[in-house]
Amino acid sequence: MDYLKQIEEKILSQIASPQLAVVDKVYINQSEGGYCLDATVVKPESLELTEEIIKEVAISPIWADTDGRGIYAPPATGQIVIIGFISNNKAWPFFQGIWANNLKPSALAKTGELLFCDGKGCEIVFDAAGKMIIKNNSISLKVLLEEILDLINSIQCLDPMSGPLPLLPTIPPQIAVTKNKIKELLKE
The pLDDT value recorded for residue 37 is 95
- The architecture in CATH of the region 2-102 reads Beta Barrel (2.40)
Mean of per-residue pLDDT scores for the chain: 78
Q: pTM of this prediction?
A: 0.60
Domain ranges of the chain: 2-102, 114-185
User: Residues 63-76: what's their mean pLDDT?
Assistant: 82
Percent of the chain with pLDDT over 90: 25
The pLDDT value recorded for residue 178 is 59
DSSP annotation of 109 reads P
Q: What is the pLDDT of residues 2-15, one digit of tens each?
A: 888 888 777 777 77
Quickly list DSSP for 70-93: EE--PPPTT-EEEEEEGGGBTTSE
Q: Which secondary structure element, helix H or strand E, spans residue 64, and what is its range?
A: strand 63-64
Contact in structure between 75 and 37 (CB atoms under 8 Å): yes
**Of the segments 28-37, 107-116, 176-185, which one has the largest average pLDDT value?**
28-37
